[in-house]
Amino acid sequence: GAVVSQHPSWVICKSGTSVKIECRSLDFQATTMFWYRQFPKQSLMLMATSNEGSKATYEQGVEKDKFLINHASLTLSTLTVTSAHPEDSSFYICSAPQGSNEKLFFGSGTQLSVL
Amino acid sequence: DAKTTQPTSMDCAEGRAANLPCNHSTISGNEYVYWYRQIHSQGPQYIIHGLKNNETNEMASLIITEDRKSSTLILPHATLRDTAVYYCIVNPPSGTYKYIFGTGTRLKVLA
* A91: closest chain B residue by CA: B41
- Residue A109: list chain B partners with CB under 8 A: 41-43
A79 closest CA partner among A56, A59, A98: A56
Region of A27 on the Ramachandran plot (φ > 0 left; ψ -120 to 50 alpha; else beta)? alpha
Tens of pLDDT, residues B45-81: 999 999 998 999 999 999 999 999 999 999 999 999 9
Per-residue DSSP letters for B32-80? EEEEEEE-TTS--EEEEEESSS-EE-SS-EEEE-TTSSEEEEEETT--G
DSSP code of A59? P
Tens of pLDDT, residues A3-48: 999 999 999 999 999 999 999 999 888 888 999 999 998 999 999 9
Task: Please judge whether A97 and B97 are an interchain contact, meaning their C-beta atoms are less than 8 angstroms apart.
Answer: yes
Quick one: pLDDT band at residue B1, thresholds 50, 70, 90? low
Provide the pLDDT for residue B102: 86
Q: Which of A31, A44, A92, A100 to mutate to test the interface with B (most CBs of B within 10 A)?
A: A44
Mean pLDDT of the B29-36 span: 90
